[in-house]
Amino acid sequence: MASTPPPPPAVPFSRIKIRTAALVFCGDEVALIRRDRPGSTHYSPPGGNVEDGEDLTCALRRELAEELALDIDRAEGGDLLWVVDQRVSRPGPTPPPRKLHLIHRLHITPAVRATLAVEERDEQPDGSHETGVIEWIDYRKVAGLPVFPPIGAALAALPGPRAATADAALEAVTDDNYTWV
């Protein structure tokens, strides 16, 4: 019986994951999830990884329902605003994936906002949960916040919540311009 050779070592960024997310606006305020961790705090737009075989629109609908309790049929918009290509080394036993962040834009009314979640519980690999706080922040004031993917400066630079953007591709996030925390 011949032995099977071991698989070749995995190469960093050889797997691709897709994360779909949305900037949900209510007037000039945008919903961001604040996560406090030992030694750091960061913000992210609500969203998450697309599951195997899942349609992108279905993934966005699922993630916003899970994280904000938002039914996207109660929002307007949904256009793809930005794409962020992430190739950042991170700690852990497996090589990091390349991740494409698809950032959409939605608009809701104050009445819909009043029905949304105020915190988000994210299940961890060990079965525990990390709690994030949903914060509504004036989009023009996010440039200095630790937002990941790093869209804060581009978001704050929008002339208005419904403003068109010239290019959907934001600067790639790499080890040259970002350090994993």
Tokens read off for 62: 């699922």
- 129-138 vs 16-26, strand pairing mode: unpaired
The 10s digit of each residue's pLDDT in 107-130 is 999 999 999 999 998 777 788 888
Tokens read off for 109: 């009314």
The 10s digit of each residue's pLDDT in 19-71 is 999 999 999 999 999 999 888 899 999 999 999 999 999 999 999 999 999 99
> Average pLDDT in the 145-155 region?
95
Q: CA-CA distances (angstroms) from residue 89 to 4, 7, 94, 120? A: 30, 22, 10, 26
According to the model, what pLDDT value does residue 7 have? 67
Q: Which helix (H) or strand (E) holds 122?
A: strand 119-123
- 16-159: CATH topology: Nucleoside Triphosphate Pyrophosphohydrolase (3.90.79)
Q: Where are the domains of the chain?
A: 16-159
State the CB neighbour count (10 A cutoff) for residue 60: 24
According to the model, what pLDDT value does residue 17 have? 94
Q: Which amino acid is at 45?
A: P
According to the model, what pLDDT value does residue 132 have? 94
User: Rounded to whole angstroms, how far apart are CA atoms 167 and 151?
Assistant: 13
DSSP 42: E
**Across all residues in the chain, what is the average pLDDT?**
92
| 154 Rama sector, left if φ>0, alpha if ψ -120 to 50, beta otherwise | alpha
Higher per-residue confidence, 178 vs 139: 139
> What percent helix, strand, coil does the chain show, rounded to 5?
15, 40, 45
| 22 Rama sector, left if φ>0, alpha if ψ -120 to 50, beta otherwise | beta
The pLDDT > 70 percentage for the chain reads: 97
According to the model, what pLDDT value does residue 20 have? 98
Q: Which residue has the tokens 């049929």?
A: 73
